[in-house]
């Protein structure tokens, strides 16, 4: 259930409660119930970002998490992970990974969350205009002041991870401890370079969108029944037409094997080499419990082979460059 937070000695649950759907698909009252239920089930990390809650206003979700933390009164039970880098205003400097924006955004996140430190401060995406010397100067300052415990990345390429770690090492810094990337049965590009780079530099990898926006959670059955919510929107809606045949095969495979599609997809992900865990985005406690069951589900060798036939890896499989040389 618990694994090291990447290169650190801190232990974290394999499942993190993601909050991107809060204050939109998940009303605030239900979000508070979900956070309570997740912690009660052993989840000890709540993952958010300064931009989340944009359907109300940017920063709303951090404020919601902050009020929940205050009500619980047990801050040390929960690791708080948030992110920086997305546009937070109209100003020319209200975005990116400049030292100015990183430090100002951290202070704003601390105020919204109502805490004195952030356990994992993640760079939400790469900023090619920011030099690593500047990025690490700001992050080292935040760590030295006690406002940030660890630093992670999100949506980085493998060479971005390498660049970040090499510069951190030259400064004598711990560097990144985690990478949060898009990875699931249907989208396996991370296997080429992100997972190898993370392994080489000791980062824990926590995959986001493990069901690809609900597409791998029985989307076609739900669409036929008229019960689809998330799987009829966004990422799943965009990819489903292209992968419809594969998703049909996947749902038939799960039905024949007596498996819940969402639990099978999450179990597969958690079994992958180099994956520490996943960021889940349940809309209710039923979906949360389904994700918890996936922790106990072990797929057999034959089942893994059938899934690889339905959703094959990129190229010849494995790491780049060999994956391209098949």
- Measured CA to CA, the distance from residue 210 to residue 191 in angstroms comes to 14
Alpha helices, DSSP H only, in the chain?
28-40, 60-72, 99-113, 132-144, 158-171, 194-201, 219-225, 234-257, 261-270, 285-296, 301-310
User: Which residues, other chains included, contact 234 with Cβ-Cβ below 8 Å and sequence gap of 6+?
Assistant: 213
Catalytic annotation on 150? no
Q: How is residue 70 written in tokens?
A: 């205050």
Strand 79-84 to strand 118-123: parallel, antiparallel, or no bridges (unpaired)? parallel
Q: Which is the catalytic residue, given 52, 183, 201, 250?
A: 52
Counting Cα atoms < 13 Å in the Cβ hemisphere of 244 gives: 7
Which among 223, 218, 212 has a CA at the least distance from the CA of 247? Answer: 218
- Measured CA to CA, the distance from residue 34 to residue 22 in angstroms comes to 10
Which residues are known catalytic residues? Answer: 52
């Amino acid at each position: 259930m618990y694994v090291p937070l990447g290169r650190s000695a801190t232990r974290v649950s394999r499942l993190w409660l993601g909050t991107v759907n809060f204050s939109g698909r998940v009303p605030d009252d239900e979000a508070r119930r979900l956070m309570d239920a997740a912690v009660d089930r052993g989840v000890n990390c709540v993952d958010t970002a300064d931009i989340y809650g944009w359907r109300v206003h940017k920063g709303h979700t951090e404020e919601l998490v902050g009020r929940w933390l205050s009500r619980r009164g047990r801050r040390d039970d929960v690791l708080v992970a948030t992110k920086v880098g997305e546009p937070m205003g109209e100003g020319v400097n209200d975005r990116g990974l400049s030292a100015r924006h990183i430090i100002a955004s951290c202070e704003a996140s601390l105020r919204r969350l109502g805490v004195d430190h952030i356990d994992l401060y993640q760079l939400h995406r790469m900023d090619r205009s920011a030099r690593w010397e500047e990025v690490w100067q700001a992050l080292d300052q935040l760590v030295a002041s006690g406002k940030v415990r660890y630093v992670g990345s999100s949506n980085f390429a493998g060479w971005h991870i390498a660049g970040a770690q090499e510069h951190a090492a030259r400064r004598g810094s711990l560097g990144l401890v985690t990478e949060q990337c898009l990875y699931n049965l249907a989208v396996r590009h991370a296997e080429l370079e992100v997972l190898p780079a993370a392994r080489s530099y000791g980062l824990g990898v926590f995959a986001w969108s493990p069901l690809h926006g609900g597409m791998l959670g029985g989307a076609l059955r739900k669409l036929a029944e008229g019960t689809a919510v998330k799987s009829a929107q966004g990422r799943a809606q965009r990819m489903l037409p292209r992968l419809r045949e594969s998703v049909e095969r996947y749902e038939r495979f799960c039905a024949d094997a007596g498996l819940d599609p969402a639990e099978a997809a999450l179990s597969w992900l958690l079994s992958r080499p180099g994956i520490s865990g996943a960021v889940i985005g349940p809309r209710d406690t039923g979906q949360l419990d389904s994700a918890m069951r996936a922790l106990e589900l072990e797929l057999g060798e034959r089942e893994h082979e059938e899934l690889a036939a339905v959703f094959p890896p990129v190229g010849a499989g494995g790491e780049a460059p060999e994956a391209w040389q098949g």
